[in-house]
Structure 1
Amino acid sequence: MTQDLLPVTRIPRTGLPPYAVVVGDPARAAAVAALLDGAEEVSYHREYRVFRGAWKGLPVTVASHGVGGPGAILLFQELADAGVRTFVRFGTAGAMKPGIGDGDLVIAEAAVRDDGVTQQLLPAAYPAVSAPEAVLALQRAARETGAPHHRGIVWTRAAFQPGLIPLDGYARAGLAAIEMELSALLVTASLRGLVAGGVLVVDGANADELVDEDALLTTGAYDPHRDVVAAGVERGAVVSLEALRLLAQGAAGTEGTEEYTA
């Protein structure tokens, strides 16, 4: 019945596992769900496609949120309303730091809140920070699966294409990558007492091009549809799910705590 569904995403109010991988692309949600045992599609409305299944015995939700923070935050809020308590955002990003290659994973310690939505919810000085246990679980999962990975602060930016505002300032500050939705998730998690983190597959590794507006606008300068990116997406899906399992077991421990710096 309609009253049993949440209003925007049309997901059920009850029955979803409390551990979730959230992705932008509905097709990627299906691909991640295909790794689960007993996967079933729960709902598909607008950009919000939701599955449930099990990863190594852990019940897991997989959901897509589309492109951009304003739409994504609606999914995060309604998943929380439905009982999800632990989130891993698994997305793609452009590298901003030399040494981060195509197909590598970037594990986000925090995010710059340039997402176009959270500034309307609370003061701009409020930070968007990943849960430390989520960072450590993602790092452990990446290490144990042999996935090339990096840790750092990412820039969540609402605009995909460059405009008249220079992009190179944050690059000089040492940010690892740029993406479009993570800070909306991290702020939602902080305000609602949830656990959240993010792992991003690099689909554009030329940091010089990233901060060069002319290069970004050049036809063919950005191509995420390459084998090296697809391989990174496959690794990232496993890392995301395995991190949820580690979080559920409380097995992230303190490994890597001494490295917890930006």
Structure 2
Amino acid sequence: MTQDPRQDLLPVTRIPRTGLPAHALVVGDPARAAAVAALLDGAEEVSHHREYRVFSGSWKGVPVTVASHGVGGPGAILMFQELADAGIHTFLRFGTAGAIRPGIGDGDLVIAEAAVRDDGVTQQLLPPEYPAVAAPEAVLALQRAAREVGARHHRGIVWTRAAFQPGPLPLFSYDGAGLAAIEMELSALLVTASLRGLVAGGVLVVDGANADELVDEDATGGYNPHREVVAAGVERGALVSLEALRLLSEEYAADRPEGGGA
């Protein structure tokens, strides 16, 4: 009997259960996934279902998966979980963010050390005291790659917040907490990776202010992500992310026991 090929696909994202490269770069926008995949050697589209678009290829000889996860933690965590189910063990999120800390400019990169879990989904999985932290090796690989590319970058804690637009409820102020930036999905990735014993981190391109309460609008020119300075930052960020994955693959290979699995 011929096996139904649909049985080999995971249910939500429709990605294959096996065969994907184990180092993944995850992005929000399906079009950005295609743009990053265009930088790879031998890139092929693996699947495209809903907002979840997946490519495979290689970067400087390292097999890489590139996947889009859409906007917001609840949908993104489904992709993260199913990528982990498919055998991905190293994740880097490459996205955009609004700057919070003074001195972080448009087009700069923010390398996340940890995230505030205001993502709208992990609160239903774990108590709020459980941290969302990046793997130290991911932070260091991203920092090294940013230096090699010559990309202006900063390290710090980011705020993952489910709501993009402010509403009638008062917005909690993190003034004085030293947060670097605000985005929408990273803490869901970091918690997923911690629960499963995987490596994860994130680098974000600053595309302006996300809310007037969080950023000096005069300094950023207001929120407009469709500017040349942001596009240039995205190009640098893609190179930094892929190079960091290469560095992490070398470290993973060095740490594997001789004769160990892939």
Give the TM-score of the pair, scaled to structure 1. Answer: 0.90
Q: Select the residue among 201, 205, 215 that pairs with 1:201.
A: 205
Long gaps (5+) in structure 1: 254-262
1:29 to 2:33 alignment: yes
SS at match of 2:154: strand
| Distance in 2 between residues matched to 1:65 and 1:237, nearest whole Å | 16
2:177 is aligned to 173
Residue in 1 aligned with 2:259?
none
1:243 aligns to what SS in structure 2? Answer: helix
Aligned twin of 2:161: 157
2-structure distance, mates of 1:94, 1:171: 15
Distance change >3 Å, CA 93–CA 212, structure 1 → 2: closer
**Superposition pairs of residues 1-262 of structure 1, within 5 angstroms:** 1-167=5-171, 169-204=173-208, 209-211=212-214, 221-250=222-251
Query: In the aligned structure 1, how far is the partner of 2:240 from the partner of 2:225?
Result: 20
Q: Is the 8 A contact 1:41 1:50 kept in 2?
A: yes
- Provide, for residues 167-207 of structure 1, a one-character-per-residue CA deviation record: whole Å limited to 9, x for no partner: 46213311000000000000000000100000000000x59
* Separation in 2, partners of 1:8, 1:168: 34
TM-score (normalizing by structure 2): 0.90
Contact 2:141 2:248 (8 Å CA) reproduced: yes
Q: Are 1:6 and 1:13, in contact at CA under 8 Å, matched by a contact in 2? A: yes
Q: CA RMSD in A?
A: 2.0
In structure 2, distance between residues paired with 1:49 and 1:186: 21
Q: List structure 1 runs of 4+ shifted beyond 6 angstroms.
A: none
Change (3 A) 1:148 1:181: same
Q: How far apart are residue 106 of structure 1 and its match? A: 0.0
5+ residue gaps, structure 2:
255-262
Counterpart secondary structure, 2:173:
helix
Q: What amino acid is the match of 2:234?
A: V
After superposition, what is the alpha-carbon deviation per residue over 1:32-78, rounded to whole angstroms, capped at 9, x for unaligned? 00000000000000000000000000000000000000000000000
